[in-house]
Amino acid sequence: MSLPNLFYKYVARNNSTWMAAVVVGAFALDTTVNGTVNVIFDGINKDKLWKTVYAERVKKGISQ
C-alpha cells in the first residue's frame, strides 16, 4: 500500500482519529517551534538576558 492509502485507512477515515491527529500534530508543532525560537533568541541575546546577568552578579558577589 502507498502512504496516502495508509494515511486514509488509519487516520483520515474517522473524524475522531482525524481530530486527534490534528490536535497532536498542532501540539508537537507548537512545542518544536517554541523550543527552536527560544534557542535562537537565547543565542542572539547572550549576555543580555537577566538569567545570565544575574548569574554573573552572583558570581561576583553583587547579588545574593
Q: Could you tell me the domains of the chain? A: 3-60 (1.20.5)
pTM as predicted = 0.68
Q: Please, which pLDDT band fits residue 5 given cuts at 50, 70 and 90?
A: very high
Three-class SS state of 29: helix
The Cα 24–Cα 3 span in angstroms is 19
Cell 554573573 belongs to 56
Dihedral over alpha carbons 7, 9, 11, 13 (to 10 degrees): 130
Q: Please, which pLDDT band fits residue 1 given cuts at 50, 70 and 90?
A: confident
pLDDT tens readout for residues 21-61: 999 999 999 999 999 999 999 999 988 999 888 888 888 88
